[in-house]
Amino acid sequence: MIYILELLNKIRFSDNKGNYVVRYFDRHKDTTKEVNFKDIKFFDKLCFVINVEGYDSLIPLHRIKEVVKDNEIVWRR
């Protein structure tokens, strides 16, 4: 099984980043949310950063549940 950080790095250097969607658990709303990979501003070994309603939000990598490419799941926790 591939680690999530390794997969995110592969996607980052891919030509088709826009085809990937990251699904993560939002603990504040107790639901799963989606973000297009091209909307991720930054990531490192602990978290990724997205802009939500004008504010940067840090999402820990352990909250990622799935990575989807063209409606097909390529990684699942």
Instruction: Give me the residue spans of the domains in the chain.
Output: 4-76
What was the pLDDT predicted at 52? 82
Instruction: Give the residue-averaged pLDDT of 3-11.
Output: 94
Does the structure show a pLDDT above 90 at 1?
Answer: no
Q: By the 8 A CB rule, do 46 and 61 touch?
A: yes
CA atoms of 16 and 45, how far apart (whole Å): 22
CA atoms of 60 and 24, how far apart (whole Å): 9
What is the token pair recorded at 42? Answer: 């930054």
Band (pLDDT 50/70/90 cuts) for residue 28 is: confident
Q: By the 8 A CB rule, do 39 and 19 touch?
A: no
What dotted CATH number matches 4-76? 2.30.30
Q: By the 8 A CB rule, do 64 and 4 touch?
A: yes
